[in-house]
Amino acid sequence: MRQPFKQHPFPISVSESPSRAFLSFGVGIAFALLALAGCEPAPEAEAGSPSPMEGVTQEVMEVGSQYHNLRVERIVDGISNPWAIAFLPGERILITERDGALHLLEDGALTEISGLPEVHAQNQGGLMDVVPHPDYEANGWLYLTYSKGDSDGTVPALIRAQLEGSELTDVEELFESNTVTSPGRHYGSRVLFMGDGTLLMTIGDRGAEPARAQDTQDHSGTVVRLNEDGSVPDDNPFVGQEGYAPEIYTYGHRNIQGIILHPETGEVWATEHGPRGGDELNLLVPGTNYGWPEATLGRDYGTQEQFGGGDSDRHLPGMEEPVWEFLPTLAPSGLAVVSGTFDNWEGDLLAGGLRSERVLRVVLEEGAVVHIEELFTHDLGRIRDVRQGPDGAIYLAIDDSDGAIYRVEVDD
């Protein structure tokens, strides 16, 4: 049972986290000591060899929230636009960088992993998600998404591979979207294992032609469902139906970059970018049309009028409404469901925000949002990924050219 939350000393609309205290120790001190000793910093390590994280700015931040006091520690910094975090046995962590690098964090050292396919990194495209197979300890498969192609056109693609030392081996391409598009926008590319031998992969509308999200033969603007080897499950909702790509699970999406399988209900929840406004929390039901761009709560970037003008509406029959619209704009990326060590957050969602630079704790009851608390508002930067680790802590990836990974634990 949840305990009564700690009351704020001032009124707020959407609940914000109170009280923050910082303890920071900059790398400048370390370099000053080196200079006094007549030494120079060690040269940068080559790819494939461990690079000790001696340059990490050791920042610890204490944050109050409604139910828990939190300790936030930076565990990695100096990485370029980290996109995803994954956990391996032996307290190892994988981190993708959008520009095409994959790192292994082990015993406080970063090792760059070789063997990736050629990644076309441009604007929003690059190396994106990394997710271990649920039975990774037995089969060793890692699943990764990336933008495949060149400056003339790219597609979101899915591979799987084995990790041997500091190299990916046995790389298999499992899937690529069926329409090549000018590079740079709306890739989606989150992966979710369903626990039944299948996985979901989100694919954005690719930005240039939003109406493609309503084309049921185009993978753009959809969630696809695949078997773990990339084949099409026989029970997908549109298998055998004329005019539908058989991989499609749901469609009418703009750009989903947060997706989870709720362990208590078995429901699939997703956070989705809107245009100006219209960021959504959706409950995904197979075979459902979620409306974009014909039905959207978002506004046009230029005119601030209804997106699409006379060709769109806020609500249309036969198109699923979002469970929640995030206002003000969240720019959602990364989604986790909490269990274990955060007793009073059990079953809640944690939704990361890029432009908003915050995490929202979303409380659900019977499929409805009943409460939202803001966390880390403008404290850490653009939140790209949110994951709960096997140690029970929450891990956050900060999307910046000088990005970082933070670890959050209860400090009651």
Q: 219 — phi, psi (to 5°)?
A: -75, -15
Residue 165 — pLDDT band, cuts 50, 70, 90?
very high
pLDDT at 298: 85
Q: Domain range for residue 247?
A: 15-410
Taking only the tens place, the pLDDT of each residue in 288-310 is 999 999 999 888 777 777 776 65
Q: In the chain, how many domains are there?
A: 1
Mean pLDDT of the chain: 88
**What distance in Å separates the CA atoms of residue 248 and residue 251, rounded to the nearest whole number?**
7
Q: Is 5 within the bounds of a domain?
A: no
Per DSSP, the residues of 218-257 read --TTEEEEEETTSPPPTT-TTTT-TTS-TTEEEE--S-EE
Q: Is 102 within the bounds of a domain?
A: yes
Q: What is the largest CA-CA distance in the chain?
A: 74
Per-residue pLDDT, averaged over 3-26, amounts to 37
Compute CA distances 32 → 26, 40, 58, 340, 389, whole Å. 11, 10, 16, 43, 35
Q: Is 261 within the bounds of a domain?
A: yes
Residue among 68, 103, 120, 186 flagged as catalytic? 186
Predicted confidence (pLDDT) at residue 25 exceeds the cutoff of 90: no
Of the listed ranges 32-46, 120-134, 203-217, 321-335, the least confidently predicted one is 32-46
Q: Is 141 within the bounds of a domain?
A: yes
Q: Is 297 within the bounds of a domain?
A: yes
Say which CATH number the domain at 109 has: 2.120.10.30
Taking only the tens place, the pLDDT of each residue in 255-282 is 999 999 999 999 999 999 999 889 999 9
Whether 133 is catalytic is: no
Taking only the tens place, the pLDDT of each residue in 337-380 is 999 999 999 999 999 999 999 999 999 999 999 999 999 999 99
Of the two residues 10 and 175, the one the predictor is more confident about is 175
**Where are the strands (E) in 233-357, listed by range?**
248-251, 256-261, 268-272, 279-284, 324-326, 332-337, 349-353
Q: Is 154 within the bounds of a domain?
A: yes
pLDDT at 59: 84
Using CB atoms within 10 A of its CB, is residue 412 exposed (0-12), middle (13-18) or buried (19+)?
Answer: exposed
**Whole-prediction pTM:** 0.87
Taking only the tens place, the pLDDT of each residue in 376-387 is 999 999 999 999
**What distance in Å separates the CA atoms of residue 335 and residue 398, rounded to the nearest whole number?**
14
Q: Is 155 within the bounds of a domain?
A: yes
Q: Is 1 within the bounds of a domain?
A: no
What angle (nearest 5°) sits at the alpha carbon of residue 93, between those of residues 356 and 341?
A: 70
Per-residue pLDDT, averaged over 62-70, amounts to 94
Compute CA distances 31 → 39, 263, 358, whole Å. 9, 47, 32
With a pLDDT cut of 90, the percent of the chain lying above it is 79
**What distance in Å separates the CA atoms of residue 347 and residue 260, rounded to the nearest whole number?**
12
Residue 315 — pLDDT band, cuts 50, 70, 90?
confident
- What kind and span of H or E run contains 137? helix 136-139
Cα-Cα-Cα-Cα torsion 325, 331, 336, 341, nearest 10 degrees, comes to -100
**What distance in Å separates the CA atoms of residue 310 and residue 317, rounded to the nearest whole number?**
16
Taking only the tens place, the pLDDT of each residue in 229-258 is 999 999 999 999 999 999 999 999 999 999
